[in-house]
Structure 1
Amino acid sequence: MFRGDNSHSLSYEQQAKFIQDRITNVEKNFGELCVAFGDYARKTARLRDMGDELSKVLKDYSSNEIVNKSLSSGLDNLSITLTAIEEYRNCEVQRLEAKVVGELCQYETICKHAREELKHTMNVREKELARKKVLDKARERQPFNRQQVTYAESELLKASAEMSRTAKGLSEQTEFFERRKLQQLKSLLSDFIMIEMTFHGKAVELLTVAYQQVKDINDKADLEHFRRKLRSPEKQISTGISARSSSLASLMNQSSPLRDEEDAMRSSRRIKSPEKNLGRSSSLAALMNHSPTKEDETATESEESGDQETSDDTESR
């Protein structure tokens, strides 16, 4: 490359143009690849953020759900699984940025250096051509001035030697540039595919777990539990019973003159008819557990009237 006689000067120009076109082509294509993979990584990162937000919403729903226990547990497990998927997606984003986008971004500098190397080679080539023209003029105008002709020849030899070294270095640099481009592009694409395969493999495993977690939600049991809650809320029932019991106890503990007189009469009756008093005690226990009804009040009044008549008969006798 860049070697030959004057008749091959057109070949030098063609070679330089070919190298220039290759550098420009690589710079353009790798730049577009860098932008495309960068957009891909950024959109994947946004998808990761949206997945984290979805996991948070599922977690909040699980915390707020107090009736459907199976649904609450399923949502909590699904939230944890989706969070794990987004952790793997975060690793995917980091690897894409480091192994793909980062490597592609370096080619802007690599192409710049290659273009500078080509420009330096062309400058050396122009210097060699200039020395060649000086020698030709010296030979034409002063063919017998050996000193000037010899000096022009020595300068041309120096320029040719420098051109030879520069051309050889450029040839090696160009070949290295092309070889590295092929190897790195192959490696970048392989890394991209492996990164995606690794993520999607883990995602399939975790999504299988997530599917089973959703299948484990017992909607029938949750619906039955909801129906029981709808028919008789447990908290309201227990609160009502305790309130009634406390009210009844407070009523039973109140003291009044009428209550004292009734106690005195009942103590006198207790001596006469202990069996009836025993039955009344049992009815009092029942009264503690149940609220009085109209039938109970009627029966109580009839018994008291019967006891009163028995007492009157005894006194008259």
Structure 2
Amino acid sequence: MTTVFSRDTQLKTMEATLSNAEKYMGQFCTLLAAYTRKTAKLRDKADMLVRQLHDFACTGDAEMSICLKNLAEDLAMVQDYRQAQVERLETRVVAPLKTYGDTVKAKRADLKTFSADRKRELKELQKLEVMRLKNPADRQGISQAEVSVQKATSYANRSTQQMEDIITDFQRHKLEDIKRIFSDFIMVEMLFHAKAVEVYTHTFKNMETMDIDKDLQVFRNRIQLSEALLENTTSTAGMLQYPGLNPPPLRQVRYPSPTPSTLKMAPEQPRQVCYPSPTPSTLRIQPRQSLSRSLLGQREIEDEEEEEDEEEEERYNSEDDLGDPRAIRRSYAAEYVRNQRQK
């Protein structure tokens, strides 16, 4: 009977082990899956920000345009790293945790077999005790009952050994999975943040080189009237104020009215249809592609145009921007692609 009670304690410990694994590994799976989905949503919002930054950069002057385009390219590159982060979280963290549902179900089935053997042994023991109390003189019946108890105990011992091995193996794999899964989780996060810090450091330094005064001077020149136009306006106003100083009116020359034979019909121009620009409510996010590659493709076209005027640019840099680190500025993404091509 002592062995039976010890098996009851053993069974409760095994059931508690499986219940805890099912509960907490399931909660970890749910939370980390939600974490991965939130990261993917953050990636999508950042992609929208990249598009808006690039569009807004095209509307500004040189300094703002350069810095914001570089920022858009670097931010798109960070989102490529975030995409890799999402994929790694799904494959290395969430996927292994999903398997614990089926694993626990299989172990519970083995535990039911062990519980059935334990109950059969307990039943045979109770049957033997009852027979000894009611018919102590029935030696044949008692001997048969003892044989049945021995068989049930044999099955229970075998089942107990198998179950101990199964639960021990399950516990070992669980501990190894916990160590590996959360180590991978930390590694994935460190890789992303390390790359993001590297890119953002370059981008921050690039943004610091933005010369606001240059763009402001260009803007002032655009909105202010020129001195010649001001003098012309002043002289015109003086003539209107003193009529005696006005010059004589010019003689009007009359031209003959056109006749049907002299009229020439100009070819009709195709009418241009202007479509309204898309608003945020009409924008739809397409399946994600690498924004950094598309932006870098546009930048490569611009680079080809710059290479055609390379001699003029070098002469301009040597005369006006000698020693100025802001003369040529590139995004981290552009520098990365250039270094990879050189390798």
TM-score, length basis structure 2 = 0.61
* 2:200 corresponding residue in structure 1: 207
Opposite residue 21 of structure 2, the aligned amino acid is V
Alignment of 1:184 onto 2:211: no
Cα deviation for residue 130 of structure 1 reads 2.1
Taking structure 1 as reference, are residues 61 and 152 closer, same or farther at Cα in structure 2, changes over 3 Å only? same
Q: Which has the higher helix share?
A: 1
CA contact (8 A) 2:92 2:184 kept: yes
Equivalent residues, number: 230
* Unpaired runs of at least 5, structure 2: 230-252, 256-343
Cα deviation for residue 144 of structure 1 reads 4.5
Cα deviation for residue 210 of structure 1 reads 1.3
The separation in 2 between residues aligned to 1:7 and 1:77, in whole angstroms, is: 77
Residue deviations 1:111-145 (CA, integer Å, cap 9, x gap): 22222221210101111222333444555537455
The separation in 2 between residues aligned to 1:90 and 1:193, in whole angstroms, is: 16
The separation in 2 between residues aligned to 1:21 and 1:134, in whole angstroms, is: 30
Opposite residue 173 of structure 1, the aligned amino acid is I
CA contact (8 A) 2:117 2:156 kept: yes
Opposite residue 32 of structure 2, the aligned amino acid is F
After superposition, residues 226-245 of structure 1 pair within 5 angstroms as 226-231=219-224
CA radius of gyration, larger in? 1
Alignment of 1:21 onto 2:16: yes
The separation in 1 between residues aligned to 2:185 and 2:5, in whole angstroms, is: 43
Opposite residue 141 of structure 1, the aligned amino acid is N
Opposite residue 81 of structure 1, the aligned amino acid is D
* 2:92 corresponding residue in structure 1: 99
The separation in 2 between residues aligned to 1:153 and 1:210, in whole angstroms, is: 84
Alignment of 1:39 onto 2:34: yes
The separation in 1 between residues aligned to 2:254 and 2:31, in whole angstroms, is: 91
TM-score, length basis structure 1 = 0.66
* 2:213 corresponding residue in structure 1: 220
Taking structure 1 as reference, are residues 84 and 73 closer, same or farther at Cα in structure 2, changes over 3 Å only? same
The separation in 2 between residues aligned to 1:7 and 1:189, in whole angstroms, is: 42
After superposition, residues 1-317 of structure 1 pair within 5 angstroms as 6-65=1-60, 68-138=61-131, 141=135, 143-144=137-138, 146=140, 148-231=141-224
Secondary structure at the residue paired with 1:64? coil
Percent of counterpart pairs with the same letter?
31
Taking structure 1 as reference, are residues 157 and 166 closer, same or farther at Cα in structure 2, changes over 3 Å only? same
Opposite residue 106 of structure 2, the aligned amino acid is H
Give the structure, 1 or 2, with the largest relative contact order (CA under 8 Å, sep 6 or more): 2
The separation in 1 between residues aligned to 2:143 and 2:5, in whole angstroms, is: 28
The separation in 1 between residues aligned to 2:138 and 2:30, in whole angstroms, is: 65
The separation in 2 between residues aligned to 1:101 and 1:199, in whole angstroms, is: 17
Residue deviations 1:163-214 (CA, integer Å, cap 9, x gap): 1211111000111111111111111111111111000000001101211221
Residue deviations 1:220-254 (CA, integer Å, cap 9, x gap): 11112222222369xx9xxxxxxxxxxxxxxxxx9
CA contact (8 A) 2:117 2:152 kept: yes
The separation in 2 between residues aligned to 1:144 and 1:181, in whole angstroms, is: 52
CA contact (8 A) 2:4 2:122 kept: no
The separation in 2 between residues aligned to 1:144 and 1:63, in whole angstroms, is: 104
Backbone CA RMSD of aligned residues:
2.5
